[in-house]
Amino acid sequence: MFKVNSPLNDAHIHLADQALIHLAPDILAEHRANGWGASVVNGTCEADWPRVKELARSFPDQVIASYGLHPWFVKERSPNWLDTLSEYLSSQQLCIGECGLDRWIPDHDISEQISVLSPQIALAARDNRPLTLHCIQAWGHLIETLRSQPLPDRGFLVHAFSGSRETAHSLLDLGAYFSYSPYFTHERKASIRELYAGLPLDRLLIETDAPSMAPPAKRAVRHLENNHLSHPANLSLALESLQSIRKEHATDISDQLCDTFLTFFGQN
């Protein structure tokens, strides 16, 4: 069983990414030495699902496997992608994601993305699995899709949410959780920090999305490859920043993050 007695549980990371996979054993050893908890390792396509599975097998008390087909890779999917995904999920109560909608990418086909997202939501709802969603410039489409079908009873996680306050409240009404990223410490993200300062504390988690979404170089705990990629160690920056923008006591925030992580990602 993964550890949740630490405020530093990463709700969203791509530890199976080619930029991190060779460092994963050392990263997880450092996490263990520092008393950190679990990392939810998200797959994004059929090619990286085996690496996610192997990490979860090798580090069962630190890695929570999550398998999804990300909108960036929708056009690369095989004809049997959904059957393959179902097979990965069949062995135990695993998570679904990262999946979602994205109108920022070139030549996007939002209808095709929805046709791929909907069955993943259905799988999560059927077994009440944790579901992690990605969304960029497609909030209306996402909310419409979520409203059109059953959702997991436990709710769903919108990772690194950066939409409007109105969108956040619409998602909250549907059962959303939101994960705060160290990327939001960039000066230009002041409005996002203000948004997270006002969201319900019991709906918040922290994440890195490493190796993506690097924080500003002057604030980062650690970087990869000339400051362009984020290191998982930056999770502590996410916690520090969230504590600095909230009115609650830092200990209360840390305790609630642990409770929420277990509530959302724990076994039912």
Res. 33: pLDDT tops 70: yes
What pLDDT is recorded for position 50?
96
Average pLDDT over residues 62-69: 97
Residue with tokens 């489409």: 141
pLDDT at 146: 98
| 5 or 231, which is more confident | 231
How far apart (Å, rounded) are the C-alpha atoms in residues 46 and 232?
Answer: 23
Looking at this protein, which amino acid is placed at residue 48?
D
Q: What pLDDT, on a 0 to 100 scale, did the predictor assign at position 2?
A: 65
What's the pLDDT at 248? 95
The pLDDT value given to residue 191: 97
Rounded distance between C-alpha atoms, residue 226 and residue 218, angstroms: 13
Per-residue confidence (pLDDT) for residue 224, from 0 to 100: 82
Q: What is the pTM of this model?
A: 0.95
pLDDT, tens digit, for every residue of 158-192?
A: 999 999 999 999 999 999 999 999 999 999 999 99
Mean pLDDT of 6-27: 95
* Backbone φ and ψ of 206, nearest 5°: -120, 155
Residue 135: which pLDDT band, with cuts at 50, 70 and 90? Answer: very high
In order, the DSSP letters of 88-137 are: HHSSSS-EEEEEEEESSSTT--HHHHHHHHHHHHHHHHHHT--EEEEEES
Over residues 186-240, the pLDDT tens digits come to 999 999 999 999 999 999 999 999 999 999 989 999 878 766 899 999 999 999 9
Extents of the domains making up the chain: 10-265
Say yes or no to pLDDT of 56 above 70: yes
Q: What is the mean pLDDT of residues 62-91?
A: 95
Structure tokens at 21: 């996979």
Per the CB < 8 A criterion, the answer to whether 166 and 194 are in contact is no
* Mean pLDDT confidence for 130-149: 97
Non-local (6+) Cβ contacts of 157 within 8 A are 11, 12, 97, 130, 131, 132, 133, 176, 177, 178, 179, 205, 264
Confirm or reject CATH 3.40.366.10 for domain 10-265, answering yes or no: no
For 225-241, give the DSSP string: TTTTEE-GGGHHHHHHH
- Burial per residue of 18-37, b for 16 or more beta-carbon CB atoms within 10 angstroms, e otherwise: ebbbeebeebbeebeeeebb
Q: Per residue in 85-119, pLDDT tens? A: 999 998 766 899 999 999 998 889 999 999 999 99
- Residue, of 256 and 1, whose pLDDT is higher: 256
